[in-house]
Each structure stands twice: as structure tokens, then as C-alpha cells.
Structure 1
């Protein structure tokens, strides 16, 4: 070997063995966990509800807090807070946090997504502890952190932050450089239909472009078993107005001859389901997905189904949840019981929320529901459709290298193989991600578990799940740091 080659060999970086990297990551995650939980608690204390009736200043405060966490990692070339106009309008959406680190030496780039906004808390009396005061409590399955956003999705934010910190600290201690490209997108209005999401992607496409995308906003099979979400139902929601009279009338004088709007609405809504509670709308389709075993006892345990109340629908339970359509009436505008006079109600407004099976277009599904309602309107009742929201379902391609790497990382982080799952809820923006970045591989992961109660009172994060999810993501990023794009 000549002197030039000897010098090159002496100065070339020596990659540490994978076992040493993984051991370093485990130590970094364990030592950094108290800090990550404390920072998560600070985020939970910010009531960043993105709905219009709530203070937008608190969403802006939350964005600033997240941006500071990303800056503090020291790995990003740029960290910004940005907005984009809502779809079909000119007003700006809620603030999102974006960051980027350029890939080096042929390494891939990973986009890390989560959201910092949260659902409204609901009634305070339904909470065992104040919704925006994080509280740690022991539960039968381990320690949990309670609070609105503790799991959905401020824990997703902290998984990203914690994984980046652990990776940077481990590589600094062992010697190799952090060559992996990183982009971060922490949205500020996911809980309010992501109304500026498409515009945000288009305006920031270069900043967010990546080879793989991790969406940390889903759940796991249980507190000991990780999951990769591979099927997502779409969503269609709208307000339906039912009118039968131009004014209220005395129910004693005209009841029995005049159809009031409540009668018409009840009769009409009942046509949406058959006797088993399965959707009875012609044109709504099933995806026919294969599902793992899951029995009615587990359903009863995870949902709080009362004794004697039976599940609805037909077929395998997870098929009903993942690959069949569902329709729910989520709200009714009508006189409450305290103000219920003896009156024929002239008009009623209801909010209808439908979940659409993977493989069906959301617009097609809305038209099928609308046609069904118009065709079945009783007594000639007048129908009006307002405030239509739609999000596309999605099926994840599980054949790429990124899914393979994530499965290996989850096995290392959890000690168990990941389960491929669907979710009955919807993450409509994933279809938009796939449309804007068609060559990127999308991974839907999360920190929730069957007892998280996201969107409900007493939302909580299982701290063991949080640690395992954080470790798995750190291992995944480390594996990609040694992989060519």
C-alpha cells in the first residue's frame, strides 16, 4: 500500500457496529426520558385548541414552544413557523412548525410529521383531573400521563424530538457523522380538518421533500405490541337541515296531522342503517381487508360498551372497524329538554359523520349518502346540505424498504413484532401527502394504545409505550443514517 492510500485508510471514519449504536441509543433514550416527559407536560399545559371558537393565541404559543424544542436539538439548518391560506379562501391557517437538515454523503431524507393542536376538552366535570394540567397516575397497565394532547398528538411531537436527540447524542459519542437528512412538519390544525394542509404542502414542497415520511399520529395493538397502520378509512361529514313547517305550532292542536321536523328527521335518519346497525346506503362499498383476531369481549373492554348492549354490524369485528363504511349522527340542534315546550318543531339540524372504506372516493361516497337521504325524505320534508367536509381513505404500500426498516426497528425497540393494523378513524391528509410526494414511502406509527381515549375526557399516554415508541424511532433513524438513498 502506498503512502497516499495508507493516509486515506487511517483517516477514513470507522463505522461502529450496529450493536454499539443500538446500545448507545437505549442509554440515551433512558437518560433523556425524564426530560422528554417534562417537556411534554409543558406542551400539554398550553390549551392549543385549533377550533374557531377558541383563542388562536394559544395555538401560536404552542407553535413557538415546539419550534424552540427543535432549535434546541442543534441539528437543523432552519427552523421556522409558517402558515398557508386555507383551501378555497384567503385567510391563513393555523401556524405550523417546519425544520430541515440537508442529507449528506448520499443518505436518504426522512420527514417527521405530528401535530401540536388538540381537540376541545369538553366538559370539565367529565375529567378526573383538569384537562390542561398534566397528571401522572398509576393504572392497572402501568403509569400514565393524563391531559388533553398528552397522547394525541403532543406525544408524537416529543417522540420526534426525543429520537433526534438520542440519535445525535449517540453518534457524537461513537464518532460517525449524522448524515441523514431530516425534515419536520408539526401541523397546527389537524384537529380542525387540516384546512390549509394542501396549500402548505405546495408552498413548502422543497423544504418537506423526503424519501420516507413518518406520521406519528396513530395507535398500537396494545401497550406491549407495536403497530404499523396500513389502512385508513376516509371521512365525509356535513350538516343536514330538515324542515317541514314555516313556523312552530301547538303540538296539542295540530299533532297527529302535521309532521313536525323532529319526526321527519328521526324517520329519515333511521333509514341509514339496517336492523343490525350496518350501513344501508346503496353505493357505499367495503374494502374486504384481512384482519387479525379480535373478539367481542375485547371490543366491550376497550369501548366501555354497557352490559347487555350488543355490538352492531356483521362479520369480523375489525373488518367492521377498518374496511366497512360507518355513519354516525354526532350532533343535533333542537330544543333541549329544559326548554321543551308543547310545540311542533319546524326545523331540525343534525351533523352526520361517515367513515368511508379504503378504496372508495370520498366525493362518490358523499353523493351516495346525499341521494339516499333525498330519496327517503319522509312526508315530503325539505332537506338542505351544508358545510361538507371530505377526506380520502388510504391504503399504505407495505412492500418498500422503509417499512422493512421500521419493522426491524420496532422489533428492537419493543421486543415484539409489529402488527399491521387499520384504523376506524381517518387521517385524510395522508392521501394529500402521497399525492404531493408520490415517490416517498409513508409510515403511519403512533404512541396511542386502546385505552388512550383520544378526543375524549381523561385522554392519557402510557409512559411505557411512549418510551418504546421513542426508542424505535431513534433506532429507525440510526439505521437510515447508514443507508444509501
Structure 2
């Protein structure tokens, strides 16, 4: 560790260096994508360790001097912990991403084999390109750009079981010293669209509820009893219909909803991304961002019912459904869940009382804005892309973000990455644009420099 801050590189120097690294980074990404590192039951664990070892080799080649593994009981692959010391007095930046991927069961929908990376139209296609191996590669690229001597101390946290739930989601508060940092870059997100640099500043929370009722001792022939015997399935359907108004807006009191003022998808973009059939209306009112980020969403994710094929003419004696609630980033998920339970318990569809059981909850996240790391990130993104950076939110949750926030509440949390809203993560033909990957490398390098400058001479 030196006590001298390095002379900052100019924007053109950073871009030139990143462009020179791209052939190597592209090859490294392709090598990583070839490994089917799926961390879920029913898949072999060997590819996870293969991906882990390859990343370690890449980090060594990038000049990373301190590489350790964090073994957590129940994990199938270790968490890579690596540190690159910066100058004395420089800030510490923790960078997080993951190297596991979801399966590619829909192989027939791919234009090329999911684990044989294919380069076409300025992109690399393959499972895990965008989620989130390109983000891992962008970190390695930023470190390589400084020949292993960045202007900040960098801590890397790269895990191998993010996609299907992990003990690591809850681990950081148990050992906060491992994750101590002045700022954190969570690179498991991307920009709203190609060419539009975006900082994600909020994530919705989530709450689960199971609602059920039993009305008869057993199913009864609907020709003999239908019309008077209380049908549990009809009552449940009536109750579930009360969760939304005629416009499709959530109709449950006590759920926070606010207008969204940052960047967002246009309606046409959203229709394309969601693959909505032509001529069909969207649910709800207000802006797209308000509906999918800064307001609640309720989805019936499961319901017990016999299939249409082979249906029996009977009055249902029991019915059950699971309801998922997405929660405003600043509303405690338990409070939102309680509001949903109150709504359901107050209902009496056809005079029948429902049984409502609380399921899992996970709080959302709202980043503090306006700090030195936040300002440095906005500046770095804007310079790299040549466009003013926007702010967006995420409709899904990243549990580890909340765990890191609990472990190190004083650290600024920044969410940005190498992918974009059209990357089709978890779907067929997942891809990352190489131009976006290069710009992400540049942005991380510029962020290191700009953030270091705010600390120079202060410690």
C-alpha cells in the first residue's frame, strides 16, 4: 500500500485502455459462460467450482494479491473474497456480484446453445452473460485497467448461489467486519435500455400470504348440491377479485404508492419487454415506474384447482391460494403484509370467513442519494456513456443488498452494471452487448478515480 494517490487518468486514456482490454475480457466472458454453473438441486456442483476456480485465475492475472474463500454451511460453492489495497487514506469500495446462473430448460427457444457463447450483432449470447457474469468480468476489467493498483481499496465479494436462495443472503450481519467499506457497488443490475446509463436507487420488498377456506366435508355433485352448498373455490375467487379495482390498481388500504420521477420504460418498451399481446390494455393507472417500482403489486402466484382436462362436476369443499405482494421500497414488508391480511380477513365472500396465513417477507431498499460515492457514480456513468445518467428502481428484490445495508449501514450503496433492460435475463437468448460491457468497465474505473478524489488529503 502506498501513501501517494496516483495521477488520475483522463477520460480518453481510460476509454483507450478499456478498448485495448476488450478482446481479453470478451474471451474471458465466453470461457465463463461455457461453464453451466447452476446452483440448485438436481444439477451437478462441479461446474460451480470450475467457475469459481476460473474467476480466481482471472483475478490473479488482473493483479489481485489477496484472494480468500468464505465457506458457509449449506452453500454449494464458496464465496470469493478478494482485496486490492489502494493508497493510504483512500476509501474502500466493496464490489458484489455472482457467478451462478439459472437453468436453460427452454433450449428449443434459443437461437444458439445456451452454454456455447455466440457472438452476433455486437453481443454475446448465452446463459449468464447478463446475469451476472458480464458484471464479474467488468470488475476484473476495471482492476486490470489499473494494473492491480487502483486509486481506492477494492474488496470483491463474488458468490455462487444467488439465484436460488443462499445462506449468504443473511450472513453479512454476522461478520460485518468482512464487509466494512465506505461504498458498495452491487453489480447485479443494469441500465434501463442500451445507451442510457442508469443507477438503480430502490428495490421493492416482498411479502407472501396464503389464503384458504373449507366449506364442506367433501366435494359434492354440483347437480345435486350446486346453487346452495357453499362453493369454496367460488368464494376464494370472489375474495381474490377484491384485491384490485376495475382499472387493475391495487385496492388494499395501507399500501404505500408514490409517483416515480426518475428514468423509466416507455409504454411501448414495456409492452415489448413484457411480450403483451397486441391490443390488450395494461393493468393499473399512472406511470409505468409508479406501477412497477414505487407502488404495490399483487399477484396470485398459485391456486389449488383441478385442471380443465378431466374436471369433475363438483362443488369445491376447499380452496387455497398463495398471494405475492410487492412492496414500496420504503415500506416495511411486514407492515404491508399486515395490511393485506387485514383486507382479506375482513372479507366475507358469500358470508364465508377466510383463513389467512402470513408467509415470508423481505424488506425493500432505498439508497441514500447525494453522498460523495453517489455523485461520483453518476458522474462516472455519464462520462462513460456520454449521456446524463438516470435513476431507476427494481421491481424485484436482491436480499443481499438488505443484508449488506444491515451489516454496514454507513456505506453508500450503489447499484449499476453492464447489462440493460433488453438483456432477457432468465429467458431464452440472454445476451450482453459488448459496447455496454466496455462502458461498464470505463464507468467503474472512472468511479474509482472520482471517489478517491473526494478522500484525497482527508485521511
Superposition TM-score, scaled by structure 1 size: 0.84
Give the match for residue 442 of structure 1: 413
Q: Deviations over 1:316-348 (max 9, x none)?
A: 222222211011123345433444344555545
Q: Name the CA shift for 1:78/1:240 in 2 (closer, same or farther; >3 Å).
A: same
Does the alignment pair 1:107 with 2:86?
Answer: no
Is the 2:76–2:161 Cα contact (8 Å) retained in structure 1?
yes
Give the match for residue 180 of structure 2: 209
CA distance in 1, matches of 2:328, 2:5: 50
Give the match for residue 84 of structure 1: 72
Does the alignment pair 1:154 with 2:133?
Answer: yes
Q: Out of 263-272 and 206-215, give the one that drifted further.
A: 263-272
CA distance in 2, matches of 1:62, 1:146: 18
Is the 1:244–1:382 Cα contact (8 Å) retained in structure 2?
no
Give the match for residue 183 of structure 1: 155
Return 5+ residue gaps in structure 1 as ranges: 1-11, 86-90, 170-176
CA distance in 2, matches of 1:94, 1:281: 42
Superposed CA RMSD in Å reads: 2.8
Q: Name the CA shift for 1:118/1:405 in 2 (closer, same or farther; >3 Å).
A: same
Superposition TM-score, scaled by structure 2 size: 0.88
Is the 2:173–2:406 Cα contact (8 Å) retained in structure 1?
no
CA distance in 1, matches of 2:188, 2:222: 49
Q: Given the alignment, which residue of 13, 18, 25 partners 2:14?
A: 25
Give the match for residue 124 of structure 1: 107
Give the match for residue 234 of structure 2: 263
Q: Deviations over 1:269-294 (max 9, x none)?
A: 21211111111112211144424575
Is the 1:45–1:132 Cα contact (8 Å) retained in structure 2?
yes
Q: Name the CA shift for 1:144/1:178 in 2 (closer, same or farther; >3 Å).
A: closer
Does the alignment pair 1:461 with 2:452?
Answer: no
Structure 2 SS opposite 1:217? coil
Give the match for residue 44 of structure 1: 33
CA distance in 1, matches of 2:139, 2:179: 15
Is the 1:83–1:93 Cα contact (8 Å) retained in structure 2?
no
CA distance in 1, matches of 2:115, 2:221: 46
Is the 1:394–1:431 Cα contact (8 Å) retained in structure 2?
yes
Task: Report how far residue 475 of structure 1 moved.
Answer: 2.0
CA distance in 1, matches of 2:338, 2:199: 32
Is the 2:18–2:442 Cα contact (8 Å) retained in structure 1?
yes
Structure 1 SS opposite 2:416? strand
Q: Name the CA shift for 1:336/1:183 in 2 (closer, same or farther; >3 Å).
A: same
Q: Name the CA shift for 1:13/1:362 in 2 (closer, same or farther; >3 Å).
A: closer
Structure 2 SS opposite 1:269? helix
CA distance in 1, matches of 2:220, 2:119: 54
Does the alignment pair 1:433 with 2:404?
Answer: yes
Q: Out of 457-466 and 356-365, give the one that drifted further.
A: 457-466
Q: Deviations over 1:410-437 (max 9, x none)?
A: 1221111111112222223323222211
Task: Report how far residue 371 of structure 1 moved.
Answer: 2.5
Is the 2:297–2:327 Cα contact (8 Å) retained in structure 1?
yes
Give the match for residue 64 of structure 2: 75
Give the match for residue 328 of structure 2: 357
